[in-house]
Amino acid sequence: MTKSEALELLSEKIEAMTALQMAGSLINWDAATLGVPKKSLPARSASMGWLEGEHFRYFISADTLEAIETLEACETELSEHEQLMVRELGLEYRKLKAVPEEEVEAFGALVAEAQPVWETAREKRDFEMIQPYYEKILIYQRKLCDWYGYENHPYNALLNDYERGANVEMLDGFFTQLRKSIVPLLKKIIEKNNQPAEIKGNFSVEKQKELTAWLVKMVGYDLSRGKIGEVEHPFCTTITRNDVRITTKYHEDNVLSSIYSIIHECGHAIYEQNMAAELDKYYLGDCASMGIHESQSRLYENMIGRSRPFAAQILPELRKSFDFFADWNEDMLYRAINVAKPSLIRIEADELTYALHVMVRYELEKALISGEIEVADLPKLWADKYEELIGVRPSNLAEGVLQDVHWSAGLFGYFPTYAVGTAYGVQLLNTMKKTVDIDKAILNNDLSPITAWLTENVHKHGKMLTPAEILEKATGEPFNAKYYVEYLAEKFTDLYL
């Protein structure tokens, strides 16, 4: 095979695999947002399994490897984009080739079937409904570690799927540092008993949707290349770079929930929308890692959306829509959107305790994968860990072990990226503020200077750079959790102590 033949073959493969991914993403979007008929589940699951299998079969065929090896042999003759394309495809090929084809297809069908079962189990607070699915998914995840190969701990094989370069040693050190700083700070705040006024009332969903329109415009999400849906568990999905969709869930008694899920998902979507267009054909138009993705969503949600300037900007909009806020001032709102107290639901957790919610999941996943615990142990261990780390215990399974969709979707190794990504975001912000007047941008209702900095230093690179390379190139140093610890300590000490 010649160099030109190899490049042409890989270009055709990328085009076909992209089409298969688009089909799967559209099926998932449809199922999550449109209330599809329950009896469609078997056919839908089979179709998703076939798409996963077809993607796998098409990619791991012998001609793919021949093309990769041909181009690896003449690497110096390739452009930078071509070299990185070959690197990415080579890594993915050699990893997936180790996984039996029939296992891939069966797993795709399994998780497609498991997710609606999880929804019902969560609603009925019945762990036994989902337990058999979790057990089958765990068996696959454990085998996946062996198929991929790993050093020191099997969980490392799964972590690297979502956060390239991450491992148990790194994460144990990171979470230990957070445990030492956040847990005692939270205890001091609880003892001080200086909590802000609560935002609890009856907030019209229609008015919340009007506020959503203001939010997405203010934050900078391009709706001409996107769409907003309603779901049980908010997410962002990319069909193409010009079709990036977000979701939220509206609660009549909690207007903050939809506000911050929208800002969070907008952060994800803006990242996807601002990747360099030329990366798509090289299989590089994707995030560097889920941690880098989370750095963007958490930066927008917390470091912008829970700042004093943002409170000043959104308060007039809240007053227009809801009488509840008629007598509120900016300081009251700033304190209310920065609650710090023990809670049970991760996606509703405050900025201070959020990483502790992630730590619970990290420790349980790590133990599940190593075989230290089994699926049947999860409900009690979950409750015990919440009591130990956050000081609260679930009263039912919906606010306990059944609250997340991730395990029913087979996303083992994903949870740590939420906390690591938040720390990435603070480190990026620390550098950005040296050249960008962040408060001024927010007060001007124009986040374009912030987005421009992030696009230049993060978004545009896609998978051209690894997470470590993005951080070092943008901030001038490797990942350093001290910025996250200092940020939390300074902000919440000022607010509460």
Based on the residue annotation, tell me whether 265 is a catalytic residue of this protein: yes
Cβ atoms of 310 and 302 closer than 8 Å? no
Q: What is the pLDDT of residue 473?
A: 97
**Residue 354 pLDDT:** 95
**Residues in a beta bridge with 243:** 240
At 329, is the secondary structure helix, strand, or coil?
A: coil
Residues making up the chain, counted from first to last: 497
Which residue bears the tokens 């209330």? Answer: 35
Note the pLDDT of residue 431: 98
Q: What is the pLDDT of residue 254?
A: 92
| Three-class secondary structure of residue 396 per DSSP | coil
Q: Which of 209, 231, 213 is nearest to 221 (CA)?
A: 213
CB 264 within 8 A of CB 234: yes
Write down the pLDDT at residue 32. Answer: 84
Per-residue pLDDT at 455:
97
Residue ranges in the chain whose pLDDT is less than 50: none
Cross-strand bridge partners of residue 248: 230
pLDDT of residue 348: 82
pLDDT at 36: 77
Classify 230 as helix, strand or coil: strand
Three-state DSSP at 251 gives strand
At residue 294, the pLDDT reads: 95
* pLDDT for res 56: 85
Q: Is the pTM of this model over 0.85?
A: yes
Residue type at 222 in one-letter notation: D
How does pLDDT run across 194-207, given as a tens digit for each residue? 889 899 899 999 99
Residue 22, judged by CB atoms within 10 A of its CB (0-12, 13-18, 19+), counts as: middle
Residue 119, class by beta-carbon neighbours within 10 Å (0-12 exposed, 13-18 middle, 19+ buried)? middle
Question: Per the residue annotation, which of 265, 301, 365, 399 is the catalytic one?
Answer: 265
Q: Which residues contact 460 (CB under 8 A, 6 or more apart)?
A: 274, 275, 276
Report whether 376 contacts 329 (CB < 8 A).
no
For residue 70, the model assigns a pLDDT of 97
pLDDT the model gives residue 232: 80
Domains of the chain: 3-149 (no CATH), 168-202+279-496 (1.10.1370.30)
What are the φ/ψ torsions at residue 199 (nearest 5 degrees)?
-100, 85
